[in-house]
Structure 1
Amino acid sequence: MGLLPVEIKVNVEGDVPGALSALGSSRGVLTSRRIWFAEDRQGAAGGRVPLLDHGVIVRFRLGGGTEDLTVKLRPCDSEQLVGRFSDPFQAGPFTYRIEEDWSGNGRVLAASLVRDCPPGTLGEAVAPGADAAAAMDAVQDQFLHACAPSVPLDGLAALGPVMSTKIDDVPLDGLKADLEVWSVAGLEFLEVSIRVKPKDEDDRETFTERAERKQRKLEEAVRERGVELSEHPETKTRRVLTALVEAGGGLTRPAPSA
């Protein structure tokens, strides 16, 4: 596995509308979507998030004229990624990415298999009582069974929706940043992110130094606009899923068989 792209993130809490304004959100392209996360139904009913605890994220996004279903391993390690999943690929309707996620001092490896779906495809899978696992394609099943074989995938329930507003390609001190707001269960987060891709001439040291410079530049650009960065140690996905489980998150028992 060669050099991998890096997604660099900072999170903002508190006055999210004020932060959006300060960061120039009006200069980007806005998309509104609803997001659900699948979790083990029994675990979620007991206040737990077993899939997430095993590093597995199953995410449904609906709205903005598109739908997609993402299966992600985060954190993972390169030894887990076997066979066809040891290298990124794109083969419609699938996009398979392997990249590093950087947030503050944390750096983890993430692998995600995204399937683009026609509008109207995923609504049944996120309905109360539905088995969310049924929406996963055979390739996504293969990915999880090959790279996370110990994770049980029977009886998944979709928790949500999380309301998402994403503004892409916002110019920020020479960077192109994406801003995404998540709102659910009394929580509101703003994530500011950039992607850094390796160049042909990069070696690991050169690329890492360039990514670290851009990370510092992003953090400084946000702070210089009077926006305070969140110091919360947990990822926004874990915080949102925990809040959804505690709130019930639309979780209901499956309808009894006739």
Structure 2
Amino acid sequence: MRQPLKSFTTAAYRRKRDGASVMNFPIEIKINIDGNIAAALSALDRTQGDQAQKRLIWFAENRQGMADGRLLLDSGVIVRFRSGDTPDELTVKLRPCTTEQLSGRFSDPFDKESFEYKIEEDWSGMRRALSASATRAHPQGALLHAVAPGADAAAPLDTLQLRFLQECAHAVRITGLDALGPIASTKLNNVPLDDLEVDFERWTVVDLDFLELSIRVKPKRGEESHEFEERAERKQKKLESAVQDRGVVISENPENKTRRVLTALARNHP
């Protein structure tokens, strides 16, 4: 039976870094809505944001693991493909993780040509987790062959992504992957909500329909960890109030949308 992964609080990150130079990582604050999505979108007036981006999303899972009732997600590893209106992206993510896992060059964020490595905190309600992701951009449509039935979805992983996994999640086996999906995604950025600019993303797959609202809070130069955390908490409360004030109900489902979607897709995978 799958054991729940431990979630690490911001305070825990600080305790684990006591005595060393402390870095405040950006915080992505998320709200999930899984009721009447059309009504929620109308109430939130998403027409004011940027032009919508439509993409298809796949998650890759080990076929033997799925046969045994296990997911890479159970070990905190996510392999995600995106293709659509923007350049294709292949992302390898660890969530949750700890700063101790992120060794060597993967202890700090960096950009390299079409490669981005970032570390941030994910907040959703009372749940907080540290995540690290390595994303390689590809030309539009270039990854579609890797998500086709029968293809090995691990093939396009590049040297840096494999090194990231080997150094930071060395016990996880990344071979023989099948792509699960596609999930239809519609993304809308910078939607004004009170004095916030909010990103909207809707996922539709199988019989699931989710709307995720998110904002990103970046640390300021010279800001102490407790000051940054308190500022992020104020932003979180503002986002929650802005949604609730418009009559939209925030989901209380304890599992995030990635877990719910992957569980459904794995169950239906031949």
Q: Equivalent of 1:41, from 46, 53, 63?
A: 63
SS in 1 for 2:154: helix
Does structure 1 retain, via aligned residues, the 8 Å contact 2:53–2:86?
no
Does structure 1 retain, via aligned residues, the 8 Å contact 2:87–2:140?
yes
Give the residue type in structure 2 aligned to 1:238.
R
Task: Measure the CA separation in 1 of the matches of 2:70 and 2:145.
Answer: 22
1:144 matched residue in structure 2: 165
Give the residue type in structure 2 aligned to 1:183.
T
SS in 1 for 2:41: helix
Q: State the Cα RMSD in Å.
A: 1.0
SS in 1 for 2:120: strand
2:141 matched residue in structure 1: 120
Aligned: 1:31 with 2:53: yes
Mapping for residues 131-210 of structure 1, pairs under 5 Å: 131-210=152-231
Q: Equivalent of 2:42, from 7, 10, 21?
A: 21
Q: Equivalent of 1:83, from 104, 121, 125?
A: 104
Which runs of 5 or more residues in structure 2 are unaligned?
Answer: 1-21
SS in 2 for 1:190: strand
Shift of 1:49: 4.0
Shift of 1:14: 1.2
1:254 matched residue in structure 2: none
Which runs of 5 or more residues in structure 1 are unaligned?
Answer: 252-258
1:95 matched residue in structure 2: 116
Task: Measure the CA separation in 1 of the matches of 2:141 and 2:30.
Answer: 31
TM-score (norm 2): 0.90
| Moved beyond 3 Å, runs of 4+ | none
SS in 2 for 1:242: helix
1:67 matched residue in structure 2: 88
SS in 2 for 1:37: strand
Does structure 2 retain, via aligned residues, the 8 Å contact 1:39–1:159?
yes
Task: Measure the CA separation in 2 of the matches of 1:65 and 1:183.
Answer: 19
Q: What is the number of residues matched between the two proteins? A: 248
Does structure 2 retain, via aligned residues, the 8 Å contact 1:49–1:242?
no
2:252 matched residue in structure 1: 231
Give the residue type in structure 1 aligned to 2:200.
L
Task: Measure the CA separation in 2 of the matches of 1:198 and 1:13.
Answer: 30
1:199-237 alpha-carbon deviations (Å, 9 max, x no partner): 003101111110000000000000001100000000100
Task: Measure the CA separation in 2 of the matches of 1:49 and 1:136.
Answer: 21
Mapping for residues 236-247 of structure 1, pairs under 5 Å: 236-247=257-268
Give the residue type in structure 1 aligned to 2:60.
A
SS in 1 for 2:151: coil
Does structure 2 retain, via aligned residues, the 8 Å contact 1:10–1:104?
yes
Task: Measure the CA separation in 1 of the matches of 2:257 and 2:70.
Answer: 14
Task: Measure the CA separation in 1 of the matches of 2:141 and 2:201.
Answer: 23
Percentage of matched positions with identical amino acids: 58
Does structure 1 retain, via aligned residues, the 8 Å contact 2:65–2:71?
yes
